[in-house]
Amino acid sequence: MVLEKQRPMNINRLELPALPDVSKDFIKGYVRLSHLYRGAMMEVSTKLDILDDEFSVTYDHNPIHHMECRLKSAESTVNKLKRKGFEVSTQNIMEHIQDVAGVRVICNYTDDIYRLSHVLEKHKDFTLIRKTDYIENPKPNGYRSLHLVVEVPVTISEVILRLPVEIQLRTIAMDMWASLEHELRYKSGKEVSSQSVDELRECAERLSAIDSKMQEICRRIRACD
């Protein structure tokens, strides 16, 4: 189930964001490009919906709790291009930015994450570009998630393009921690003390232990079915 859906931008009703040194032509090009990335994002979310239904029919279990889809804003994309040292252009977006389109998949259990990841990596329509496992190897701050970047075919008129989509797979506990940590660190506007950083990391470790225990209980109960 996709919880978030963004309506496509319209070039004729475009309101330009406050982006220094960025032309109106680039923004219009970005709007056209975002339409293509939206198509790639919908390809992934649709495949995941179908997979979730298949698991329900075959195994009487839905691995996906919910999904969230998002397109990177023009401002965020431009800033990322500049940080990477590239000229601001739609061509450089397509060649150097792999997370314009993103799908966040919230799973019930850790086993579900790896099961879905395995299927996505082997899917004939997708090409795996990158896999980063922050569950086996958490970030120093405690962040856990499995990230995949897959290349997806998008058909427009008579042309087929292949565009990257970033897929983040998390348990409910991982997502709760990541959302709250992001809120505290980046949206509060205040500097986070080293004590708070340590406490946040400790919370991540405790939630990871709860995830493991819930997974253990799930395996035991389902083994009895």
Catalytic residues: 166
- Neighbouring CB atoms inside 10 A of 166's CB total 22
> What is the bridge-based pairing of β-strands 146-156 and 101-107?
unpaired
Q: What span, in angstroms and rounded, lies between the C-alpha atoms of 14 and 50?
A: 34
For the purposes of burial, counting CB atoms within 10 Å of the CB of 85, is it exposed (0-12), middle (13-18) or buried (19 or more)? exposed
- Side-chain half-sphere CA neighbours of 200 within 13 A: 23
The angle at the Cα of 39, spanning 33 to 43, to the nearest 5 degrees, equals 150
